[in-house]
Structure 1
Amino acid sequence: MIACLRLFTALCLAALLAACASSPSSSLGELPRTPDASIEQLLEQATTSKTPEQAALLRLSAADLAYKQKDNARAARILEQVPLEQLKPAQQIFASTLAAELAMSRNQPKMALTALSHPSLARLNELPEDQQIRTRSVHAAVLEANGQPLAAAQERAQLTPLLKGDAANANNDAIWNLVAATPRDQLNNLSTGTDTMAGWASLALAVKGAGTVEQQQAAIDAWRAQHADHPAAAQLPPSLIKLMELTSQPLTKIALLLPQEGQLAGVARALRDGFMAAHFQAQQAGQKPPTIEVFDSSRLTSLDDFYRQAQASGVQLVVGPLEKPLVKKLAAYPQLPITTLALNYSDAGQKGPEQLYQFGLAAEDEAREVSRRARADGMVRAVALVPKGEWGDRVLKAFRQDWEANGGSLLAAQHIDQPVALAQQIAELFQLRQSEGRAKSLQSTVGGAVSAQPSRRQDIDFIFLAATPQQGQQIKPTLNFQYAGDVPVYATSHVYSASGDVNQYRDLTGVRFCDTPWLLDSGNPLRQQVERQWPQAAGSLGRLYAMGIDAFSLAPRLGQLRALPENRIDGLSGSLSMNENQRIERQLPWAEFTGGQIKRLPDTPR
């Protein structure tokens, strides 16, 4: 009786699978479908199947059912029993899709990308829509996780005609978030076409190219009129709806609060000149920028008195102060009478009033940028060289936190100080002294001279370097001398003097570093205009001119960045965004020293 029941069950399963299977064409093969059966029943039937194809279909169904029941480990074990290369294309696509989903559940995006690189994916468009949706959805997620946002957006654009209702809206929102985070130069290549992606690219460029919220609203309206048939014209992404709803009083007067005397006067002068250059450019472009009133923070006797005076003169936004003690005082206020963009940062963890925003050339941003870039390049194990002192401690802490939070390992760190100790410190980083000790021990054992070249540890993927150009000039040759010249070095901008010193650049050959767009993209028209009036802006001081220009760009858009934290401003000091503490953070472009010159590198994927 039991044998009869088993036979009946097997026949029912086979019939149900045949009824549920899809056969787009004989060359594609059938797609497995999960029947109304348990995993155990499917696997039992697979062991008694008459053909390998039928057994594979049953096992694929069992693996898929286990995945849907969130038993991912079992799903992976079952999938391993399916001979992928013996399947027909439809089944290969199904298996590759499931393998990618399982890899993503284990946080292994590179393995997922490998699974979706199978040649059978070329025939995805021949499969039923539900399978296309499933495969393209996981492919988009995999591409994004692997740092390919534009490719992920293009994959989602392929999904657009397959989706309806809430699913279509969610997909469009995801496309917008990916495209909005893409640098302008990459969007330019896409915006000239006529397909859906070209429309998304041109919308992003329209929003990025507008300077104020009002200009962005006008740009969106103009885009919708030109792209009436585009999905985003019918339903704007939520972030753009919020942008259109933002109502703010036009910004007509700014107080620029900077020291005109003291140690920071030179820094303040560069910031002021950059700020005013951006103001002049806005006037030349036919805009109506706010009027600027300059106040001397080095003569302040009371912040309260300053704000009363600024209010009385009609100031709507304060840009400054630069001095850290004054910024810390502002951060301690429960609220401020006027919205303020400070040009420095208060202490880490100090939460300021809601009217206070903070912007500066923080070395911590650059440490996080190094972490982001090294991670994108596939690095895992790092060592660090940073200066002794409070600044080096802060930079190392920022790097360590970001690096380890994202799965990296910091094996060791050295705080560099005197050049005479540098060789010893690098030797300790790379454990060369242990190697020399082993050679001496071997010599004493064999009782004679042993020809042995010291060998360094081999588990270091790269060096994180925060150092001056002069320190860098000593460090790179020392690495070569200590048998570590082939280890990649990723540095903050502090290693680059922008002096044009060919000999210095040669000593740094191979070092990769991040820096401001101002110094790495010399073709910017505003930079060229500023340098004609202030030649020193072509050197390292250019970072401050860039910051001043970006402060002017940020002034009317603080409310926008606060309301739309995923938005970015492509500035000259970096790609700017706002974190939850209303601090402006920068992402930076990259370059490499090579042959006495610097060579621009592709940007880090966002």
Structure 2
Amino acid sequence: MNFRPAALGLLVLLAAGCASVQVTREISQEERAADRLLAEGRHADAARAYEQLAAGLRGHARYPLLLRAADAWREAGELERARVLIDGIGPRRLADDELALHDLLRAELALADRQPEAARALLGESVARFPHALRPRWHRLRAEALSQQGEHFAAAGELARLDALLPAGERQANQRRIERELARLGDRDLARASAALPAGDPLYAFAGRALTARGLPLPRAYDRADLAAPSVARPPAEPDGYRPPLKLALLVPLSGPLAGAGASVRDGALTAHFGESRRRPELRLYDTAGTAQGAIDAYQLALADGADQILGPLSRDEVQALFSQGELAAPVLALNRVALPPPPGSASFALSPEDEGVAAAERMLRRGLLRVVVVSAGDDSAQRSLDAFREHFRARGGEILTEARIAEGTLDYAPVLRAALAAAGGGEGRHDAVFLALRGPQARLLVPQLAIAGFAGRPLIATSQILQGSGDPRLDRDLDGIEFPEHPWLLGSRADLPDPARTGRRLASARGGGARLFAFGLDAYRLAGYLEHLGRQSGAWINGATGELRLDAFGNVLRIPAWGVFSGGRPRPALDGALTPDAELQ
């Protein structure tokens, strides 16, 4: 473990001493120099400097400097050197704030020795006695102690409370750890513990997202009062929650390198707009040119034109630029996801490779396919899907026996597959399934070679990447039996929407790769009228063109895809994977 304190502020706090015992001492130039080393990240050098300074003192006067040396060694990853110093410090001679740091260091050493009970005794049950600069470390260490004791829901709770104390750049890693802790609970335990959380508990947002990813209902709605319609005089919602804006601005790239993607999203949104028989917003289009500055300029122009809701922008750079503005004057439904959370009142919707990786992991786990061989390519989309699959699958108890990487341009996969089979323990009985993160042409070459290499007779589950470069039934017969996540609209499971084949013949933007973005545009437009309903009603969801759509507590639209399977060289609905076609909205 490597827990990073607010080092410089903590040094000032400890150097000044604890207010309750009124310890004051003069800080030498040498000590200030050691402080600078620590602030510069030169932890080992700082530790040596503190030790050298302590060597010039006698008795308990050395303890504060030895304590800081121990903490610097911990920062440097030298826990054993920290242990030697801590063992020589008499805690009764420390000021209160120094004692708090001493107990944190001893707790971390106890956790390194797999002694969570000792760590919890040192930490106590309340953070109140610890200075604010040390509280993030207290929550992290207590979470680790609880996790080592198998109390994963409680550990996730400590990390959820920690989240509000962290700078924005550290929250993503912390939230992944929360997800890993929650993933270790079974469905029943997760649902029961989530339902018992009190209103306002920060863990509920994370627990609710975990429940949704497993297809389980929320015990109660999220508290998303910020999604209420702005102060403009929108008419009341329809009985099903439909409450569109008065003026909706669509921000997409209609020029530049992303113009093709923008046209597909635009045409999907326009199709949904003109297909809506109830009250429709005034819809205006704004070209972002696919750039960050273009997105900001388009947003400002839309505001000047009186838009009360924004749909877009599309690219990650554009969304990052807009979310970096802080609180926005008009709420945004961004069409991509970035590390920054949506500002209050806003949301994000994305066709994310990570979501497909999680969906594939859940599908395997629910079917009892717990030992998996992975075959992937090296492109960015494949790796993003695989990273999410790997983390979710392992956290929920699955085992990845081995991973095989297919190099671009290679035709003979036999050496890679033989090595993978050996790493998996050999023999067909060791693995339950094969997960593929490959494009169609690679998968067509792979499937017959899998059988020859000894991987035959097990389910093959892929990401939607397998549809890239496919489309010829004569060639795609080699893919028969492979399952993949797909938009229900493209599987023919949404009879209430325009037929995808007929739409593709009329609109170039709805053909080929554009079809998925066209469906994305359909759903994006519909979401704009239901965000308030989705955010404030427990269990509310839309059966969209791209999947079942729900909103989590952080403003992210969660998409549960349908499942397809190749049969006769054509994508068809999987028998257990198609969404209910006539359940429009719940």
TM-score normalised according to structure 2 size: 0.55
Residue equivalent to 1:356:
346
CA distance in 2, matches of 1:281, 1:596: 33
CA distance in 1, matches of 2:290, 2:485: 36
Pick the aligned partner of 1:414 from 401, 404, 407.
404
Pick the aligned partner of 1:277 from 271, 281, 306.
271
AA in 1 matched with 2:308: Q
2:470/2:476 contact within 8 Å kept: no
SS in 1 for 2:341: coil
The alignment status of 1:321 with 2:313, answered yes or no, reads: yes
Pick the aligned partner of 1:542 from 489, 494, 515.
515
1:409-455: CA deviation from partner (whole Å, max 9, x where unpaired): 122222322324622222222118x99xxxxxxxxxxxxxxxxxxx6
Sort the Cα spacing of 1:363 and 1:314 in 2 relative to 1 into closer, same or farther, 3 A: same
TM-score normalised according to structure 1 size: 0.53
1:332/1:352 contact within 8 Å kept: no
1:60-100: CA deviation from partner (whole Å, max 9, x where unpaired): xxxxxxxxxxxxxxxxxxxxxxxxxxxxxxxxxxxxxxxxx
CA distance in 2, matches of 1:288, 1:498: 40
SS in 1 for 2:401: strand
Residue equivalent to 1:253:
247
Pick the aligned partner of 1:567 from 540, 561, 565.
540
CA distance in 2, matches of 1:508, 1:374: 19
Deviation for aligned residue 1:487: 2.1
Deviation for aligned residue 1:396: 1.3
AA in 1 matched with 2:269: F
1:331/1:356 contact within 8 Å kept: no
Residue equivalent to 1:366:
356
Residue equivalent to 1:462:
433
Residue equivalent to 1:452:
none
1:498/1:539 contact within 8 Å kept: no
Pick the aligned partner of 2:562 from 589, 594, 603.
589
CA distance in 1, matches of 2:488, 2:578: 13
Residue equivalent to 1:337:
329
Which of 1 and 2 has higher RCO (CA within 8 Å, sep 6+)? 2
Sort the Cα spacing of 1:497 and 1:304 in 2 relative to 1 into closer, same or farther, 3 A: closer
CA distance in 2, matches of 1:563, 1:315: 23
1:253/1:292 contact within 8 Å kept: yes
Deviation for aligned residue 1:579: 2.5
CA distance in 2, matches of 1:397, 1:288: 43
Identity of aligned pairs, percent? 29
CA distance in 1, matches of 2:413, 2:258: 32
Residue equivalent to 1:553:
526
SS in 2 for 1:465: strand
CA distance in 1, matches of 2:562, 2:429: 29
Sort the Cα spacing of 1:456 and 1:263 in 2 relative to 1 into closer, same or farther, 3 A: farther
CA distance in 1, matches of 2:525, 2:532: 14
Residue equivalent to 1:218:
239
Residue equivalent to 2:280:
289
Deviation for aligned residue 1:281: 0.4
Deviation for aligned residue 1:509: 1.8
AA in 2 matched with 1:551: A
Sort the Cα spacing of 1:599 and 1:182 in 2 relative to 1 into closer, same or farther, 3 A: farther
AA in 1 matched with 2:366: A
CA distance in 1, matches of 2:403, 2:420: 7
1:2-13 → structure 2 map (5 Å cutoff): none
SS in 1 for 2:329: coil
Sort the Cα spacing of 1:401 and 1:467 in 2 relative to 1 into closer, same or farther, 3 A: same
AA in 2 matched with 1:506: R
Sort the Cα spacing of 1:523 and 1:565 in 2 relative to 1 into closer, same or farther, 3 A: closer
CA distance in 1, matches of 2:296, 2:483: 46
1:565/1:578 contact within 8 Å kept: no
Residue equivalent to 2:198:
none
1:456/1:483 contact within 8 Å kept: yes
AA in 2 matched with 1:593: F
Deviation for aligned residue 1:599: 3.6
2:331/2:346 contact within 8 Å kept: yes
Corresponding pairs, count: 359
SS in 2 for 1:519: coil
Deviation for aligned residue 1:217: 4.9
**Going by fraction, where is helix more abundant, 1 or 2?**
1
1:268-305: CA deviation from partner (whole Å, max 9, x where unpaired): 101100000000101xx2x1210111111018746554
Deviation for aligned residue 1:317: 0.9
Residue equivalent to 2:551:
578
SS in 2 for 1:374: helix
1:55-204 → structure 2 map (5 Å cutoff): none
CA distance in 2, matches of 1:526, 1:470: 30
Pick the aligned partner of 1:504 from 451, 475, 479.
475
Root mean square deviation of aligned Cα = 3.7
AA in 2 matched with 1:258: V
2:290/2:318 contact within 8 Å kept: no
2:346/2:555 contact within 8 Å kept: yes
Pick the aligned partner of 2:260 from 247, 266, 283.
266
Deviation for aligned residue 1:513: 1.3
SS in 2 for 1:345: coil
Pick the aligned partner of 1:394 from 384, 409, 430.
384
SS in 2 for 1:573: coil
AA in 1 matched with 2:577: D
